[in-house]
Amino acid sequence: MNIITRFDLGQHVFPIFQRAEEVTEPCPECDGTGRLALVKGGTTRCTSFECRNGRVFREVRMPWAIASRDASDIGNIQVSLYSAFNSLRDDERRYMLDSTGVGSGRLWDESDLFATAEEAQAECDKRNSKSTRLAP
């Protein structure tokens, strides 16, 4: 049996990942200051339930980005192949990188690794063109 992988041991690759990014805007009650003026002078903390130090949460986005600090050489390849009897499972090819630990580090799916930074960025752009919004 020949097992074919997209990458080889020792090959330098560029991983991509999704990172959580909160989207906020200035609180309309306190104009983003986090404080409200009192009638008799002075200020108090903004009383808006949504206000957090002058910012109001709107949504979480999960954009794709190149994990630049994790770009490194492949130190381990794990392949799981399934028979037709297990047709509900897809074959898996996962990699451990020297930068994220071999043996007990992060496993990267083959679809999230690229041979060049340009290929990785193009895939990020493609995936980001689809919705990356989690919650309103």
Share of residues in the chain with pLDDT > 70 (%): 94
Does position 136 have pLDDT exceeding 60, yes or no?
Answer: no
CA distance linking residue 16 with residue 36, whole number of Å: 43
Kind of pairing between the strands at 12-18 and 72-80: antiparallel
The partner residues of 15 in beta bridges, in order of sequence, read 113
Cα angle for residues 20, 46, 39 (degrees, 5° grid) = 165
The partner residues of 66 in beta bridges, in order of sequence, read 16
CA distance linking residue 75 with residue 97, whole number of Å: 5
What values do phi and psi take at 120, rounded to 5? -65, -45
Mind listing the pLDDT tens digit for each residue in 96-134? 999 888 888 889 999 999 999 999 999 999 999 886 555
CB-neighbour burial class of residue 108 (10 A; exposed 0-12, middle 13-18, buried 19+): buried
> Chain-wide mean pLDDT for the chain?
89
pLDDT of res. 122 = 96
pLDDT of res. 81 = 85
